[in-house]
């Protein structure tokens, strides 16, 4: 079988596509792999916030159209960019072993968050990161930061910001992790749902291809991803909503924590659940219900009004 992989053209997206291609080549059914690099609207529109132009789904829509039109067979994504509600006819057929889940602070002189001067300017477009940064350091000024990893690092080097926040996994994959000044623990900054996870998307009806791709699933990552995405789906959170969640397997127990906050950090709800890893999705639903009881939907509505 030949598999064509639709991918964005950024260095990180190409790394992920090549990584999946390398894993697929180890399967006896695969005869050939071809990358189909594409530009998406999310990559092209850099002068407006993602919330205003349609969210991170813009990064994957063109890739899905390529699959639908028969120009590609699969698409490879950072799962944190994939909307919790999949479009009809599409599915995530496999998730690879999770890489680093953490958010990372990058500053020119290697300062940690507590070292940054009063009123320092930090770059991040993520409302989730903004909220948690302000919960730790209410004095910080936070301004949007768009573009690929290298573009963001260049803006920092040019002095546009005192520090920026990036996903540690992306920096590690591009061998740029020497830029990391501090990695946040989940107790300091919870990640986005499925942050650090690479997923493979294909048509739901392509059962033969799905059977092959399922061989690439990492069971623990399947469980943590199910739990985290169930929370985002129940809260109807987009990738840009101030919703954070992290699940991990501890022995024979799956522990799940989540947070919903206003982007200014002034209000938040936070809770955890634990149970059997096999009940991952149910645990995510249970935790989302607990957050809703504590006012999560009202916070999300207020956040939407502030940043609509």
In angstroms, rounded to a whole number, what is the distance separating the alpha carbons of residues 35 and 71? 11
The 3-state DSSP composition of the chain as helix, strand, coil percent (nearest 5) reads 40, 25, 35
Q: Which member of 43, 73, 81, 271 is catalytic? A: 81
In angstroms, rounded to a whole number, what is the distance separating the alpha carbons of residues 30 and 20? 12
In angstroms, rounded to a whole number, what is the distance separating the alpha carbons of residues 131 and 140? 11
Q: Is 81 annotated as catalytic? A: yes
Structure token digits, residue 233: 């789906």
In angstroms, rounded to a whole number, what is the distance separating the alpha carbons of residues 216 and 75? 14
In angstroms, rounded to a whole number, what is the distance separating the alpha carbons of residues 194 and 255? 14
In angstroms, rounded to a whole number, what is the distance separating the alpha carbons of residues 101 and 197? 8
**Residues in a beta bridge with 141:** 121
Residues 6+ apart with CB under 8 A from 279: 254
Contact between residue 79 and residue 197 where contact means Cβ atoms under 8 Å apart: yes
Active site amino acids = 81
């Amino acid at each position: 079988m030949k598999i064509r992989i639709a991918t964005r053209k950024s260095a990180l997206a190409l790394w992920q596509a090549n990584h999946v291609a390398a894993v697929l080549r180890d399967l006896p059914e695969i005869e050939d792999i071809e990358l189909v690099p594409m530009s998406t609207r999310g990559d092209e529109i850099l002068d407006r916030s993602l919330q205003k132009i349609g969210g991170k789904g813009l990064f994957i829509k063109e890739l899905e159209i390529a699959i639908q039109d028969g120009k590609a067979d699969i698409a490879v994504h950072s799962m944190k960019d994939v909307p919790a509600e999949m479009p009809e006819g599409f599915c995530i057929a496999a998730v690879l072993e999770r890489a680093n889940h953490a958010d990372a602070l990058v500053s020119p002189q290697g300062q940690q968050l507590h070292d940054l001067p009063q009123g320092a300017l930090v770059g991040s477009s993520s409302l989730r990161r903004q909220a948690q940064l302000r919960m730790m350091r209410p004095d910080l000024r936070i301004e949007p930061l768009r573009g690929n990893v290298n573009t963001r690092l260049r803006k920092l080097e040019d002095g546009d910001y005192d520090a920026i926040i990036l996903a540690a996994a992306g920096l590690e994959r591009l061998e740029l992790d020497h830029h990391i000044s501090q990695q946040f623990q989940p107790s300091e900054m919870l990640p986005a749902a499925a942050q650090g996870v690479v997923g493979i998307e294909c048509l739901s009806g392509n059962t033969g291809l799905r059977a092959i791709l399922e061989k690439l699933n990492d069971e623990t990552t399947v469980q943590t991803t199910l739990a985290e995405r169930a929370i985002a789906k129940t809260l109807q959170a987009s990738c840009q909503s101030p919703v954070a969640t992290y699940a991990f397997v501890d022995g024979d127990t799956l522990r799940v924590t989540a947070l919903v906050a206003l982007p200014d950090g002034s209000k938040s709800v936070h809770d955890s659940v634990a149970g059997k890893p096999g009940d991952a999705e149910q645990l995510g639903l249970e935790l989302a219900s607990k957050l809703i009881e504590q006012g999560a939907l009202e916070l999300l509505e207020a956040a939407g009004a502030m940043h609509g």
